[in-house]
Chains A and B, each alone.
Chain A
Amino acid sequence: MANLLTPLLQFLLSGLDLALLYLRRCLFQILASAPLPHHVSFILDGNRRYARKYDLPPGDAHQTGFRNLVRILRYCAELGLPCVSIFAFSIDNFRRTPHEIATLMSLFREKLLALRDDIALLNDAGIRIHFIGDISLLDQDIRDLVLHLAEETKGNDRLDLLLCIAYSTRYEMVRGARGACEEVLARARGGGTAGGVTVADVEREMYLTGYPEPDLLVRTSGEWRMSNFVQWQSGGCMLHSPGCLWPELSLRHLVSAVVRFQRGRDYLRDARSKIWFYDRCDFKRS
């Protein structure tokens, strides 16, 4: 009797999985009747709180968080979102305890190695990985993995995944201003007219220049702060803070975020076009 039950149960479960998959595809087809956000950003907040809530060691919480990340990325790929960014590790996080930084770094290392081994499947799924941030702050082996993955997936075009590691907006604003200054000074030394610095000059050296601006920023755990993530690029972006912790973020939260975006899309589009207009005005100052 027990011999029949297990395969029967497995059959029922895989049938259920398949039914859920098709229901999900229907739901996403319905949502796609109206424009979807082009670029969705996630701040993965709440792993440590999840660990405390369910009495898990912090390392386990990050693993659960990572599994949920994979699930949400799958939903985003199925929904057809062209670009997703993840705030994986802030430069500000280098202030955490050495033990926790080491745990996070070894998690990155483990996952990047797994990605490297499964590179063919990444290519089949059409995911192109971009690493955003100052990777010189990372360990050499992680840096090499990062460059290797970016190189191997650069031909894909279904989903652009921006992994923001060692990134923060203030850091990139400083970098942008520094780059613009160096350029102006070089021009002046070379005998040309120095001129002033424009917004475009500052943005040239920023990490997220050249990528689409986020349309929807989802930060879990009900936190309302942007925590030094994309505040420069989010003038026309909807900020959404569901109360659930990151490992608890599920399909219904993603659908709710997309529905909210669709309701505010016209307003955001107007805001974005005004920003575009102001950016194109001349900001040169002598």
Chain B
Amino acid sequence: MTNILAPPPVQPIPSFRLPWFVRLVLRQCWLMIHLLFSIYQFGSHFLQVVESYIISLGLLQSYQNLQLHNLRHLAIVVDSEEARNTLKVKELLHWVSKIGVNYLTLYDMEGVLKKSLDGDLSNFTSGMTVKLLSFTDGKGGLAKAASFLCSKYQNDELTSYNMKDPKITESEISDALNAVGCGGPDPDLLLVYGPVRCHLGFPAWRIRYTEIIHMGSLKSMKYGAILKALFEFSKKQQNYGS
């Protein structure tokens, strides 16, 4: 028990207290560590690209028949800067619908997709339901749902002259979210297109058990990478803490 504490941990000395030459040496070492890491990432990325091409050429037996029965709902988060590339987004939609996904939620923080994809998507989506979300549907959505519940309780009080404390439960909030237009099924899988694996504010109510996979940049998206992600997803075993 005591090994965390004895002796008390000594923290790094703040940079401004170090002489300039020590700072220079430390910085060079830091750059070296990051360079080694970059080389490792580059190698790993290269292998992933090769694998994606092999998968999309249909050369791997295991990817021939993807079992998608676990994937009722797919969500994709796109970095807002990359989302401005509408052609790429439409190509992504086309790929996803070709694979056989039935329900897709597309999210970007700033609402770029809501503006650029505002129209008929049936050319790219062939029967797949597509919902578009932005940051305000997340935290703001819960605030709207709470306002809705407040109004409901106030009306109940006015009509029944009975003051009762709101017993707000999870299911009441789910219903309220649906009522204010911020509801929807929980995604089974979330693909993140951007520089960093981060969900960028996707509505928190819905991603408690969602598998989140980082796909890299939208610019360099690969069909084979999506197939691989779906394949890995279907292999995973769900254990909800029970």
Contacts and interface: CB of A to CB of B under 8 A. Distances in A.
Main secondary structure of the interface of A (DSSP, over half): helix
Given A180-B146, A194-B154, A235 B199 contact: yes
A188 B210 CA distance: 38
A32 B15 contact: yes
Given A174-B168, A227-B241, A121 B6 contact: yes
Contact of B10 (A78, A189, A196): A78
Contact of B196 (A238, A278, A286): A238
B2 A125 contact: no
Contacts of A271: 109, 198, 200-201
A74 B199 CA distance: 29
Nearest to B25: A30
A228 B197 contact: no
B207 interface: yes
B150 A92 contact: no
A30 to B, nearest CB: 5
Contact of A125 (B5, B136, B168): B5
Interface in A159-215: 168-170, 173-174, 176-178, 180-182, 184-185, 188-189, 194, 196-199, 201-202
Interface residues of A, number: 83
Interface in A224-258: 224-228, 231-232, 234-240, 256
A25 interface: yes
Contacts of B199: 231, 234-235, 239
B139 A232 contact: yes
A235 B197 CA distance: 11
Nearest to A239: B197
B168 A181 contact: yes
Interface in A1-54: 25, 28-34
Interface stretch (B28-36, B46-54, B97-105, B118-126): B28-36
A116 B138 CA distance: 40
Contacts of B201: 235, 271, 275, 278
- Name the interface size band of chain B: 35 or more
A99 interface: no
Interface in B126-153: 135-136, 138-140, 142-147, 149-150, 153
B195 A227 contact: no
Interface of A: 25, 28-34, 70-71, 73-74, 77-80, 90, 92-93, 95-96, 111, 114-115, 118, 121-122, 124-126, 158, 168-170, 173-174, 176-178, 180-182, 184-185, 188-189, 194, 196-199, 201-202, 224-228, 231-232, 234-240, 256, 259-260, 262-264, 267-268, 271, 274-275, 278-279, 283, 285-286
Interface of B: 1-6, 8-13, 15, 23, 26-27, 29-30, 33-34, 37, 109-110, 135-136, 138-140, 142-147, 149-150, 153-154, 157, 163, 165-166, 168-170, 173, 194-201, 204-205, 207-214, 236, 240-242
Given A30-B30, A173-B173, A226-B208, 8 more contacts: A29-B26, A71-B4, A169-B204, A227-B208, A228-B208, A239-B199, A275-B201, A285-B143
